[in-house]
Amino acid sequence: MADRADVLAGGADGAPALGAWIKLATTESVEIMAAIGMDFVVVDLEHAPLDLETAARMIVLARACGMTPLVRVPGHEAATIGRVLDSGAGGILVPHVEDADQARAVVSAVRFPPHGARGAGGTSRAGRWGLLPRAEYTRFGNEQVLCIPQLESAGAIGSAPEILAVDGVDAVFLGAGDLALSLGLGAGDPEVRELLGTGRAAAAAAGKPCGAASAGVEGALGAAGLGHRFVVIGNDVTLLARAADSLVAGVRNGLRGAR
């Protein structure tokens, strides 16, 4: 299993790590992302109808394919976080973390005592079904599993320095879509861009990586240029939908032109 510092360090050429959301309940999505060279996947339990059993299979496959398996959990519940991590996830993205107190609660759910309150489940996949010594199982959970709060409101951005200062927070992920939605603004509005810049600056000052999602090649290159160390550049369902839409539109337009 890769060290968490390596996961967020990006490539040797300074490029960010590239990943994709997984929303379809099929492991083929994970295989495809590995085949096209993604560095990581984020199994999306917040905005997709995936269950934990499906997520666990995707985690195993991602590791076997050489990718880091992250999971976006649906909320802050310690029980869900613990089950995801015991399924072997390399880390979690946690939506709507608003302040340092919430960040500390999330870290507590991720880390074992004395760094947190996560319960021991060494007979799980993360503990190699009981074959891994408990010291190694807990060391991996405390030192290598990624804890990444998502900052998705103006209040969260304002609290970014305090959130990033919480011991056990490894990085932050800027949720531009929900940030814009919460303000009633478009994603490209100057106020949204300014707040995102504030979040990036806070991460840089804390010496911790900052991630983002992007759309299209230009969006991904823009996110890289802004200094994001890990970028989610698409999701399986939208990539499929857009490719299918383009194909059908192209064929229908061609047929109309041939008449």
Residues identified as active-site: 47
Query: What distances in angstroms separate CA 190 from CA 61, 155, 224, 242, one per listed residue?
Result: 41, 17, 19, 28
In 3D space, the residue among 167, 153, 152 whose CA is nearest the CA of residue 106 turns out to be: 167
Compute how many other C-beta atoms are within 10 angstroms of the C-beta atom of residue 22: 30
| Backbone torsions φ then ψ of 22, nearest 5 degrees | -110, 115
Segments in the chain forming alpha helices (H): 4-7, 28-35, 52-64, 78-86, 100-110, 134-143, 154-158, 160-165, 176-183, 190-206, 216-225, 236-258
Q: Check: CB of residue 19 under 8 Å from CB of residue 40.
A: yes
